[in-house]
Amino acid sequence: MKRIAIVGATGAVGQEIIRLLELRHFPLKELRLFASARSVGKTISFRGESLPIENLQDDVFSTIDLAFFCAGSFISKQWVQIARDKGCVVIDSSSAFRSDPTVPLVIPEINEGALAQHKGLISSPNCAATILLMPLFPLHRQFQAKRIVTSTYQAASGAGARLVDELQKETYAYLEKKPYSPFLPFPYAFNLYTHNSPLTESGYVEEELKMADETRKILGDETIRLTATCVRVPVLRAHSVSANVEFAKSFTLEEVYEAIQKADGVKLFEDRAANRFATPVDATGQNEIFCGRFRLDKTQPNTLEFWAVGDQLLKGAALNAVQIGERL
């Protein structure tokens, strides 16, 4: 039995973690919830109790065994080391420590063994990278991925509640033909845009570089080449990715389907007769990553194309963090 804390408890990911801890009967004897000052005094229901939202203080972590951080990089950089110094183990869902070679970056179905090297801190990966890697891993294990070309179609939920609210309000205004001033420099409803994380000198945005770096780290293979184009689409929840993967070894589609059907956490979703494959609506609220449209690239050998969709707030964030906690 553990004393657990959630930092960022009122955010979308924090609320999902609370729900999952209850739903999955996570073994704990105490749960404490922390959020920004404006939420202090509010309560959240958990296992029939109303738990108060608290403000972070330096000394709180001395009575906490395990903390889920899901309040963004700024808060993680400010508080994670304080928690570790008090003997608290941290599972961090932000990007703050993912690239640190001393911090395990973990998807339990793929590299659970990395948990053995943790020094009080484990990072949970980028949501789009997770959705790509879940179906890719069983194929990589068998055929060895060499080069990946991927595009992402990322929902508003990936940028938090504010963008979800913005998409809804813009959509209503558009349909009702009412004037509306978006906070983005362009319309979002019935539109899409390349990911607006900071643009680097290479021409890639940071989100695209994260996809490459985190793929190599999680798969434990620095030779894998990955290029990504990340796009925000007008979808409320659940990300999609397309992937073109060149493997070192030859394979058949029969072998691909056999590997996918044996894999944990992924689900084949396709009806080829109806040209029906997974959509964000299908994946919303689902723990598994849905995948399909497996096909051979006709332009070069040993190359496969596929489509995958997953709930950004579940396996892309909260569920993965809770699964790490369960393994610990």
**Residue 18 to residue 324: CA distance in whole angstroms:** 15
Is the pLDDT at 45 greater than 90, yes or no?
yes
The catalytic residue among 88, 195, 239, 291 is 239
SS3 50: strand
CATH topology of domain 2-125+318-327: Rossmann fold (3.40.50)
**Residue 131 to residue 210: CA distance in whole angstroms:** 13
Long-range residue pairs from 289-298, CB within 8 A, at least 24 positions apart, any chain: 289/130, 289/131, 289/134, 289/135, 289/265, 289/315, 290/266, 291/134, 291/135, 291/260, 291/266, 291/267, 292/268, 294/253, 294/256, 294/257, 294/260, 295/253, 296/253, 297/244
Q: Which residue has the higher pLDDT, 29 or 1?
A: 29
Q: Give per-residue pLDDT as tens, 53-64.
A: 999 988 899 999
The residues, any chain, with a CB within 8 Å of residue 307's CB and separated by 6 or more, are 240, 241, 242, 243, 277, 278, 291, 292, 293
- Return the closest-CA partner of residue 151 out of 201, 206, 194: 194
Phi, psi of 38 (to 5 degrees): -70, -15
Note whether 257 and 293 are within 8 A (CB).
no
* pTM for this predicted structure: 0.95
Q: What is the mean pLDDT of residues 154-178?
A: 95
Note whether 248 and 302 are within 8 A (CB).
yes
Q: Is 239 a catalytic residue?
A: yes
Is the pLDDT at 129 greater than 90, yes or no?
yes
pLDDT at 202: 96
Q: Give per-residue pLDDT as tens, 71-122.
A: 999 999 999 999 999 999 999 999 999 999 999 999 999 999 999 999 999 9
Mean pLDDT of the chain: 96
Report domain extents, the chain: 2-125+318-327, 129-312
**Residue 118 to residue 89: CA distance in whole angstroms:** 9
pLDDT at 37: 83
Kindly state the percentage of the chain with pLDDT values over 90.
96
- Return the closest-CA partner of residue 219 out of 127, 158, 130, 315: 130
Q: Is 118 a catalytic residue?
A: no
In which band, very low, low, confident or very high, does the pLDDT at 1 lie, cut at 50, 70 and 90?
Answer: low
Q: Give per-residue pLDDT as tens, 274-296.
A: 999 999 999 999 999 999 999 99
Structure tokens at 326: 């369960």
Q: What is the mean pLDDT of residues 181-203?
A: 95
pLDDT at 147: 98
Phi, psi of 15 (to 5 degrees): -65, -35
Phi, psi of 5 (to 5 degrees): -130, 150
pLDDT at 161: 86
**Residue 277 to residue 18: CA distance in whole angstroms:** 31
CATH of domain 129-312: 3.30.360.10
Residue-wise burial string across 119-140, b where 16 or more C-beta atoms lie within 10 A, e elsewhere: eebbbbbbbbbbbbbbbbbbbb
The catalytic residue among 127, 140, 195, 291 is 127
Kindly state the percentage of the chain with pLDDT values over 70.
100
In which band, very low, low, confident or very high, does the pLDDT at 259 lie, cut at 50, 70 and 90?
Answer: very high
